[in-house]
Chains A and B, each alone.
Chain A
Amino acid sequence: MMKRLIRAGDFDLLVREGVDKYDLLRELFVSCGLDGVVLSKNAGGGLVADNNSVYVSVSDCGELAVAALSLAGPIGVDIQGGSARPRVARKFFSERELLLDFNLVWARKEAYAKWLGTGLTNASLAVDTCDLNFYEFNLADDGFDDYYIALFGNDTTTKTEGARIEDGGLPGSGTRDRMLED
């Protein structure tokens, strides 16, 4: 069963096969020594920590779930795979977005909407994600060729560069600042 921890910028992200996204978030909390944080949902359906001490976002698609957290500011994460939806692309994708993989662009749009805290709206979907900076990952190396993860946050000033990916198990607690080896 696939399981990866990704650290980039100021966030930690855990992606795993065959688990509930909220269980995955709890696992990520424990790994970072944050298991005492209480979460609730805001009006837009997003998860909010009790005292804004930590910012989180979760997503799932098929058998894959992803959970992300940051101590620095709001984040939005999404995972998307499966068939492209031509109708959706025609209505909401820019000319530049139409040149990219459908699942990548959709993951970006959902991640951006989650970061905004509004959920998907006509306005959020109309934003050209090529004008924004995302961390984004393709899971082809794990056998999920058409699956993409996109993460948007306050500090996504670079794209995939700088991300470190760790196979298998979780790091020890309290080590979130440690740079993982390639």
Chain B
Amino acid sequence: MQDKVIKIIAETLEIDPAEIKMESNLMSDLGLESLDLVDLVVAFEEELGTEIADQDIKTIQTVGDIVKYAETHQK
């Protein structure tokens, strides 16, 4: 799951996967803007079958948070 999440993030943000660590903060380390975040959420839905509810998005801060969320919510 970790590799899949990193691959999706790298493709969406067009950055080197090696720059993406589990502890990377989406906003401060990876520089996500709101559109990037929405794009990522849709990508996770399409590619992992994981829907992230509105109220859960605010709790996701790091790449590791996404991996955990995907592992527990994957359909």
Q: What residues make up the interface of A, taking CB atoms closer than 8 Å to B?
A: 61, 80, 85, 87-88, 91-92, 106, 110, 120-123, 125
CA distance A123 to B54 in the complex (A): 9
Those of B14-36 within 8 Å (CB) of chain A = 33-35
Answer whether residue B71 sits at the interface, using C-beta atoms and an 8 A cutoff: no
CA distance A35 to B54 in the complex (A): 35
**When the two chains form the complex, which single residue of A61, A123, A125 contacts B38, counting CB atoms closer than 8 Å?**
A125
CA distance A61 to B42 in the complex (A): 21
CA distance A110 to B38 in the complex (A): 11
CB distance from A57 to the nearest CB of B (A): 13
Answer whether residue B46 sits at the interface, using C-beta atoms and an 8 A cutoff: yes
CA distance A87 to B43 in the complex (A): 7
Q: What residues make up the interface of B, taking CB atoms closer than 8 Å to A?
A: 33-35, 38-39, 42-43, 45-46, 54
SS class, residues of chain A in contact with chain B: helix
**When the two chains form the complex, which single residue of B33, B34, B42 contacts A87, counting CB atoms closer than 8 Å?**
B42
CA distance A85 to B46 in the complex (A): 14
CA distance A39 to B43 in the complex (A): 36
**When the two chains form the complex, which single residue of B33, B39, B42, B54 contacts A121, counting CB atoms closer than 8 Å?**
B54
SS class, residues of chain B in contact with chain A: helix
- Contact present for B39 and A87 (CB under 8 Å): yes
Chain A residues positioned under 8 Å from B46 (CB to CB): 87
- Contact present for A88 and B33 (CB under 8 Å): no
- Contact present for B42 and A91 (CB under 8 Å): yes
CA distance A106 to B42 in the complex (A): 15
**When the two chains form the complex, which single residue of B33, B34, B35, B54 contacts A122, counting CB atoms closer than 8 Å?**
B54
- Contact present for B35 and A80 (CB under 8 Å): yes
CA distance A121 to B57 in the complex (A): 10
**When the two chains form the complex, which single residue of B33, B39, B45, B54 contacts A61, counting CB atoms closer than 8 Å?**
B33
- Contact present for A88 and B42 (CB under 8 Å): yes
Q: Which of A87, A110, A120, A123 gathers the greatest number of chain B CB atoms within 10 Å?
A: A87
